[in-house]
Amino acid sequence: MENQVYRIVEDQGVSYLEFKILDPYKDYIRHGITLRYGGVSPSPYNSLNFRLGGKDSKENVMENVKRICDRLHIPKEQLYKARQAHTDHVLVIHSKNKEKYAYGVFNEELADGYIVKEKGIATMVTTADCNPIILYDPVTQVVANIHSGWKGTIKQIYLKAIELLKQEFSVQPENLIVCIGPSIRKCCFSSEEESFKEKFTQVFENPEKYITYEEENQKRFHIDLIYVITQDLLNVGVKRENIAVADICTRCHHDEFFSYRYALQNHEKDYGLMATIVGLLPF
Ligand SMILES: [Zn+2]
């Protein structure tokens, strides 16, 4: 499968999405966003599940990690992650602190974004409807890997990451390449709760641009998270032509990607998570 923005790579049954906008930097950065295929986890985690702490076994998840890391040519020992909790906390991971975040090792630190400058370090964000966002600066060769669901979006975690990139690594936003992976889109992200709508309108201007109402039920509204994220990025100086959005709704495509909302609505007993892995070469 291929379109202008991304291609789906299938390697011995394991599938992942990669962004074409990062093709010119293949000697510097490696990335992949997983589909559900090619793992060992049973239903409802079938099969390439990255959710530790659910009812799927740790052995299954670690085997899934090994499989995707092998395909991406990233040593799984160089993969790092903290506990995601819909925060706006962004960690800089480097050789002096990385062991704390070794994947599969329990740590209590909560974070939903990682910045890496040192080569040979990879990070992982897990999602099921939330937005995985990769920010890469080819000039300074710094990369960020961000988990931004609706809560993280309201907290504008991606702007916190850009602020850190500017302050700590002298990144200029106009050089940033931003990739937004598959996530729940406005077709499926809906509610009837006024208080829910207000969470967005208190933060983001021009609600008529990102909130639409259903014709047959005027109480039910849909929110376009991609619009608000993109607008925020443009406002801080990211160039529109440097923003790549994979045009895939995870809930609509729940057979191919994990969708929390689909699992909930379909009364499945649990849900799985997909992974966005980004690493700087060489390993
Ligand atoms: Zn949808």
Tens-place pLDDT, residues 126-147: 999 999 999 999 999 999 999 9
Higher pLDDT, 275 or 54: 275
> Is-contact 172 139, C-beta < 8 A?
yes
CA-based nearest residue to 258, from 125, 156, 89: 125
- On whether residue 211 sits in a domain, the answer given is no
**In this structure, how many other beta carbons lie within 10 angstroms of the beta carbon of residue 269?**
8
- Ligand 1 centroid – CA 239 distance (Å): 27
**In this structure, how many other beta carbons lie within 10 angstroms of the beta carbon of residue 135?**
27
- On whether residue 200 sits in a domain, the answer given is no
- Ligand 1 centroid – CA 225 distance (Å): 12
Percent of the chain with pLDDT over 90: 96
Average pLDDT (59-78) is: 97
- On whether residue 201 sits in a domain, the answer given is no
- Ligand 1 centroid – CA 186 distance (Å): 7
Q: HSE on the CB side for 18, CA within 13 Å?
A: 19
Summarised one tens digit per residue, pLDDT across range 92-112 is 999 999 999 999 887 789 999
- On whether residue 206 sits in a domain, the answer given is no
In total, how many domains does the chain have? 1
- On whether residue 202 sits in a domain, the answer given is no
> Is-contact 124 103, C-beta < 8 A?
yes
- Ligand 1 centroid – CA 215 distance (Å): 17
Q: Is the pTM of this model over 0.85?
A: yes
Percent of the chain with pLDDT over 70: 100
- Asked if the model's pLDDT at residue 2 lies above 80, the reply is no
Per-residue pLDDT band at 37 (split at 50, 70, 90)? very high
- Ligand 1 centroid – CA 200 distance (Å): 19
- On whether residue 218 sits in a domain, the answer given is no
pLDDT of the residue at 111: 97
- Ligand 1 centroid – CA 249 distance (Å): 5
pLDDT of the residue at 106: 77
- Asked if the model's pLDDT at residue 87 lies above 80, the reply is yes
- Ligand 1 centroid – CA 75 distance (Å): 34
pLDDT of the residue at 196: 98
- Ligand 1 centroid – CA 95 distance (Å): 40
- Ligand 1 centroid – CA 188 distance (Å): 4
- Ligand 1 centroid – CA 262 distance (Å): 10
- Ligand 1 centroid – CA 31 distance (Å): 24
pLDDT of the residue at 1: 63
- Ligand 1 centroid – CA 193 distance (Å): 19
- On whether residue 212 sits in a domain, the answer given is no
- Ligand 1 centroid – CA 169 distance (Å): 37
Q: What is the mean pLDDT of the chain?
A: 97
- Ligand 1 centroid – CA 224 distance (Å): 11
- On whether residue 194 sits in a domain, the answer given is no
Summarised one tens digit per residue, pLDDT across range 163-207 is 999 999 999 999 999 999 999 999 999 999 999 999 999 999 999
Average pLDDT (245-257) is: 98
Give me the CATH number covering residue 271.
3.60.140.10
Q: Which domain holds residue 177?
A: 6-189+224-280
pLDDT of the residue at 105: 81
- Ligand 1 centroid – CA 140 distance (Å): 36
